[in-house]
Amino acid sequence: MANEILDNRGRGEATWHFPAFHPESHKFAIAAAALSGLCAFFAWETLAWPVAALVPCILAFFRDPKRVTPQGDKYIVSPADGLITLIQQVDPPRELVMDDGSGVPGLVPGPVTRLSIFMSVFDVHINRAPIGGTVRRVVYIPGKFMNADLDKASEENERQHILIERGDGVKIGFTQIAGLVARRIVPFVKPGDLLAAGQRVGLIRFGSRVDVYLPAGTEPKVLMGQRVIAGETVLAEIGQAALIEGVSQ
């Protein structure tokens, strides 16, 4: 049936659809079209055509294609489209670890594996939940706009941390990081929201990066230089240590 979910049991209808455009694109596309029309009105054709060409480029940047998320309690799916540029052992950001007064513990202190996904201006910029669960934290931090591909962008650029907790206590933290061209992180969720894996959580305008902090004992299933797809590519499978840690908290 066309209205059923696409899954590995043969349900649903898999057909190609032209990607939708996120509503965030409307104001930019309308502004570019209006400016192009104004240039044409004053016979400034050398400006009118290049500005008109921006309209499909803007719509392409804000495209919001459908995604089919793998089903399984162990899967951590990619929150972003892009290129795996860094795989490192680091301490999680203090905003995801410290006591925030909510009564819900953050991530456990200590080194974990961080996967960094770089999004160019040609990638889809809608970000998605890596696991299903409850949003425990959304922490926005103003900062610089350095090249998001640099390691220090994780600590110095404008960014937003999100922490999601499953019903069994397993937590995943990830960070949306603005880059050279990006100038705004747009959240779609707030603390207390209940999400499914692969559900949209926000976007970063015009090029950026997302860092994912894997739970303890969880090994990545992706490699440096690999391209990943938000809501579809499995980054890792949650290890037994993370499950025990989640229950103990």
**Which residues of 16-72 form beta strands (DSSP E)?**
20-21, 63-64
Residues 6+ apart with CB under 8 A from 12: 1, 2, 4, 5, 6
Could you tell me if 129 and 171 are in contact, meaning their C-beta atoms sit under 8 angstroms apart? no
Length of the chain: 249
208 belongs to the catalytic site: yes
- DSSP-derived letter for residue 217 is T
CB atoms within 10 A of CB 168: 12
Quote the CA–CA distance of 159 and 140 in Å, as a whole number: 6
The string of DSSP letters for 144-164 reads B---TTSTTHHHHB-EEEEEE
Catalytic hit among 25, 78, 208, 248:
208
Could you give the 3-state DSSP secondary structure of residue 75? strand
Residues with catalytic function:
208
